[in-house]
Chain A
Amino acid sequence: MKRIAIQPQDFDLAAEFAALEALGGGGVASFTGVVRGEGGLVALELEHYPAMTQGQVERIVEDAMARWPLLGVSVIHRFGRLEPGARIVFVGTASRHRAAALESCAFLIDWLKSHAPFWKKEHFEGGATSWVAARVEDDAKALGWGA
């Protein structure tokens, strides 16, 4: 199973888990990213490069499925205006082996941080805005996987 969704709307975590569990592998690992509401943040605006996003994510999912014995992978990434507490991203992996599920999940989220064509703009109380700068540590994590 390979599910990739780039969408503005929220998603149903229970349904995502159920689809991965139904593959019968015995192991499901996941990561959910949520908007942090600190420092007076009122919203996070996610911009992306529509023509590029789907293809880039498909390539990395194929790469993960080649590296680990996976039965299924789900990647959901939202764009648009998201308020504190809103889900931004979901990565779920299913395998017969827990190490494969956990490692591939970490690999995918590290890769998304530094290679998926998304940009985050913070909106603060009072109207100030700021583009989130890329973190050197995120690049280092992705490089660590050789991706």
Chain B
Amino acid sequence: MLTIVYFAWVREAVGLDEERIDRPAPGSTVADVVALLAARGGGHAEAFADPAKLRAALDQRFVGMDVPVGDARELALFPPVTGG
């Protein structure tokens, strides 16, 4: 299983703080998982319509969309951060 956590407007659009999904196929990238999620339709499709607006972290480290999920346990999907 892979835990996916959502923040900010991505969380609001999906309607969940987090969810668990079956592990994606070996070699899958973050972008592949985003595409899988978008294909569910509804709030997921809305949140993931434009991957360019998303940022990701694998096991609490920022990664690009082209990075393989590998054996990470947690994938976070969120908008660009606005701290400080």
Interface residues of A (CB under 8 A from B): 33, 47-49, 51-52, 55-56, 77, 88-89, 109-110, 112-121, 131-135, 138-139
A56: which B residues are within 8 A, CB to CB?
60
> Do B80 and A117 touch (CB < 8 A)?
no
Interface residues of B (CB under 8 A from A): 5, 7-9, 11, 57, 60, 62, 74, 76, 78-84
For this complex, 26 residue pairs linking A to B, each with C-beta atoms less than 8 Å apart, are A49-B57, A49-B78, A51-B60, A51-B74, A52-B60, A52-B76, A89-B83, A89-B84, A110-B84, A112-B83, A114-B80, A116-B83, A117-B57, A118-B83, A119-B8, A119-B79, A119-B81, A119-B82, A120-B83, A131-B8, A131-B9, A131-B79, A134-B79, A134-B80, A134-B82, A138-B84
> Do B84 and A33 touch (CB < 8 A)?
yes
Min CB distance, A48 to chain B, in Å? 8
A139: which B residues are within 8 A, CB to CB?
80
> Do A109 and B9 touch (CB < 8 A)?
no
A97 to B14 alpha-carbon distance, docked (Å)? 49
B74: which A residues are within 8 A, CB to CB?
51
Q: A47-B7, A119-B79, A131-B9 are in contact. Are A112 and B84 (CB under 8 A)?
A: yes
> Do B84 and A49 touch (CB < 8 A)?
no
B79: which A residues are within 8 A, CB to CB?
119, 131, 133-134
Closest to A139 in B: B80
B11: which A residues are within 8 A, CB to CB?
47
A145 to B11 alpha-carbon distance, docked (Å)? 31
A121: which B residues are within 8 A, CB to CB?
8
> Do B62 and A115 touch (CB < 8 A)?
yes
> Do B8 and A115 touch (CB < 8 A)?
no
> Do B82 and A132 touch (CB < 8 A)?
yes
Min CB distance, B26 to chain A, in Å? 25
Min CB distance, A58 to chain B, in Å? 12
Min CB distance, B30 to chain A, in Å? 15
> Do A117 and B7 touch (CB < 8 A)?
yes
